[in-house]
Structure 1
Amino acid sequence: MDISEFSRLNNKNKYSRHPWETSRKNVLHTFLKQAKIPFTIDRIVDIGSGDAYVIHTLVEKKLAKKYFAIDTAYTSEVIEQLKINNNYSEVNYVQNIQEYLENNSTDESTLFLCMDVLEHLENEKIILDHLKASNNNNFYFFAVPAFQSVFSSHDVLLGHYRRYTLEHLYSLLEKNGFKIIDKGYYFTTLLIFRKIDKFLKKDKEASIDNWQGGSFKTMLINTMLKIDFTISLLLKKIGINIPGLSCYSLCKK
């Protein structure tokens, strides 16, 4: 959940997690489990961490020695609330990537996460230029929303400038010096639903904050997305890469 959504919560201390968030987290965990990353790594740095949900799921798995959550929307009040929400965990909160780089050595092996961030930037180089090849042991995981054809008022609500194709993301990262290890799409079912909404001119206006779907609906959506993701992984293993509502790339530099 990004900070704009966090700011709209009725109760910032206790809230229900939208199934898209939990399913997205499960997707990341699966990709990291498959990747040849030598965990436990020195650091995990989550760029655009929002309410720090994702990075805390990695803390629970003990995948790194140090953890950093970076978000330009962090204020002292937001940081304090997130610390309270997460029992004053070991996560370090930083307001921007320049501050992180100025105060931390580049010698330690690091996994940089940049999930659903690039689409919020008018120029992606604002972030990509900071991710220099300072350490051959670094890994970079990017995820972005896919297909401009389903761009809607929901994207506008979330502050998106664009959506991507896998080829677009691949080209962008390659031009900025990244070497692609793995790439693909996920959440095919959601793409189908979004295309139907677009065809019916029924743009989604709600965001993921203040989710009130109930336990049964949440379980149903999570199960659907788990099956969806499992099928896409099986097809990918035999060389069939089906489109989805999001695309990703795991890289080195």
Structure 2
Amino acid sequence: MLTVPAFQCIYGRHDAFLGHYRRYSLKELVALATACGLEVVSSGYLFSSLLLPKLVLYKLLHIGKESDGVGKWDRGEAVTAVLGKVFAWDNSLLIAASRLGIKIPGLTGWALCEKRG
């Protein structure tokens, strides 16, 4: 299983802080996996519910370009639990859509691969 940050146009300091060098389209991820000798069995995106807010905040309002780092979340257990459920539901829908051949964009690209031969 490969996962990568998606869409180079929203690359920012938070990505660099996390150790990412770039973001990928799903087409680029699949091409890279294939070039490395892997057969892509299935692929898609995750976290679609975060893509539009990220685009609006980062590209239109220029908010969120800086990174305070990971681990500064302080919204409490209840909010964290609710968001966890929302993201799990979001990702379940995206995986189901992917099985039907529908690729709904999200913040993360994924590819399930097998070794050739």
Give the TM-score of the pair, scaled to structure 1: 0.42
**Whose helix proportion is higher, 1 or 2?**
2
1:194 to 50, 54, 63: 54
2:78 to 197, 211, 216: 216
Letter of the 1:244 counterpart: G
Whole-angstrom CA distance in 2 between matches of 1:160 and 1:247: 13
| SS in structure 2 of the partner of residue 180 of structure 1 | strand
Shift, 1:235, TM fit: 2.3
Contact 2:13/2:67, CA 8 A, preserved across alignment:
yes
Contact 2:39/2:113, CA 8 A, preserved across alignment:
yes
1:168 to 8, 12, 28: 28
In the other structure, the counterpart of 1:143 is 3
In the other structure, the counterpart of 2:102 is 240
Count of aligned pairs between the two proteins: 113
Letter of the 1:228 counterpart: D
Q: Which has the larger radius of gyration?
A: 1
| SS in structure 2 of the partner of residue 239 of structure 1 | coil
Give the unaligned 5+ runs of structure 1.
Answer: 1-140
Greater length-normalized contact order (CA 8 Å, ≥ 6 residues apart): 2
Letter of the 1:206 counterpart: D
Matched, 1:207 2:69: yes
Q: CA RMSD in A?
A: 1.5
2:39 to 165, 179, 183: 179
